[in-house]
């Protein structure tokens, strides 16, 4: 469970390289993050953080009084984000290496859980969504996007789980509350 979603090291490195190129020629991450509603003092979980392009932005937005958990199933993601924590002195970021669908994040700590560009690859969506619900506060928010799947597929997986209610949809993502 979950571990089957771990890509090879070479795939991870190629993905990182591709993100670096995309972020130069199509810099969209800052704009997307602005629409998430992240405020100073919040606790945010960047689930499937990859090389941390969202993590570093979240860290800036939550500030000194907030906290960011950067979760990934791949050791290279965790190593890359740890490197950025050192490089940019991100004292409010904690990395978590997931074991299957166990993130290790404490129960009900997150004001916002973000699962960006990763849900499409999840083999057991209900188990995955249960972990996101476990770590979200009861009034917490889930921001999740389609990645490489249709909006209909994303919506159906969320509704089938019975764990989250979709409260808003934009072109970029869905906003959900614990059901």
Contact residues: ligand SAM, CB under 6 A:
2, 5, 7, 15, 19, 48-50, 53-54, 71-74, 77, 98, 116-118, 121-122
Q: How far is the CB of 43 from ligand SAM (least distance, A)?
A: 18
Spatial separation of the C-alpha atoms in residues 50 and 29, rounded to whole Å: 14
Q: How far is the CB of 51 from ligand SAM (least distance, A)?
A: 7
Shorter beta-carbon distance to ligand SAM: residue 43 or 95: 95
Shorter beta-carbon distance to ligand SAM: residue 49 or 142: 49
Q: How far is the CB of 112 from ligand SAM (least distance, A)?
A: 14
Shorter beta-carbon distance to ligand SAM: residue 49 or 129: 49
Spatial separation of the C-alpha atoms in residues 119 and 142, rounded to whole Å: 12
Shorter beta-carbon distance to ligand SAM: residue 42 or 115: 115
Which residue sits closest to ligand SAM, CB atoms considered? 50
Residues whose CB falls within 8 Å of the CB of residue 87, separated by 6 or more in sequence, listed in order? none
Q: How far is the CB of 140 from ligand SAM (least distance, A)?
A: 18
Backbone angles phi, psi at 117, to 5 degrees: 55, 40
Longest dimension (CA), the chain: 42
Residues whose CB falls within 8 Å of the CB of residue 22, separated by 6 or more in sequence, listed in order? none
Neighbour tally for 15: CB within 10 Å: 17
How many helices and strands (H and E) does the chain possess? 6, 7
Q: How far is the CB of 2 from ligand SAM (least distance, A)?
A: 4
């Amino acid at each position: 469970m979950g571990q089957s979603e771990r890509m090879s090291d070479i795939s991870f490195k190629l993905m990182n390289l591709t993100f670096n190129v995309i972020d130069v020629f199509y810099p969209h991450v800052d704009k997307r993050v602005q629409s998430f509603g992240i405020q100073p003092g919040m606790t945010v979980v960047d689930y499937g953080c990859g090389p941390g392009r969202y993590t570093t932005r979240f860290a800036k937005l939550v500030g000194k009084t907030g906290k960011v958990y950067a979760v990934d199933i791949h050791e290279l993601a965790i190593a890359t984000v740890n490197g950025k924590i050192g490089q940019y002195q991100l004292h409010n970021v904690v990395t978590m290496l997931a074991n299957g669908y166990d993130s290790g994040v404490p129960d009900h700590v997150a004001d916002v859980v973000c699962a960006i560009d990763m849900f499409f690859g999840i083999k057991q969506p209900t188990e995955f969504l249960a972990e996101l619900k476990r770590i979200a506060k009861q009034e917490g928010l889930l921001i999740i996007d389609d990645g490489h799947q249709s909006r209909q597929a994303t919506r159906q997986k969320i509704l089938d789980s019975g764990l989250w209610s979709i409260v808003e949809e934009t072109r970029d993502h869905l906003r959900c509350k614990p059901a």
